Structure 1
Amino acid sequence: MCDLVQVKKKELSSPHFMERIMLAVTQVNGCSVCSYTHTKMALEVGMKSEKIKNILVA
């Protein structure tokens, strides 16, 4: 996780892309709290709900 924190701090990736990664990890881990949190964060950075649904059902 440390590497992702550094990427975020240094703005080496877009917030949209970072949330896509976090949603994919959440899907693999199956954590409902993380799913809720990262869905909310993804919506806040402008991700479309359809795209979020596609990631979470994969």
Structure 2
Amino acid sequence: MMPYDPNRHHRRSIRLKGYDYTQPGAYFITICTHERAHLFGAVVEGEMQKLMNRSAPPREDPP
């Protein structure tokens, strides 16, 4: 394994400079799963269908 070199291995932040991300708000996130497994649901005819979480009891979505 190559040692970490901060001059070569760097990532640029895509965050807006000066924006306070600690404040409440709506954020878009992308989650990648191992082997692209459909753990959260599936898109059927252009609409997201939620899958039940087998490890937790069903609950209502917050208002």
More helix per residue = 1
| TM-score normalised by the chain length of structure 2 | 0.21
| TM-score normalised by the chain length of structure 1 | 0.22
Higher RCO (CA < 8 A, seq sep 6+): 1
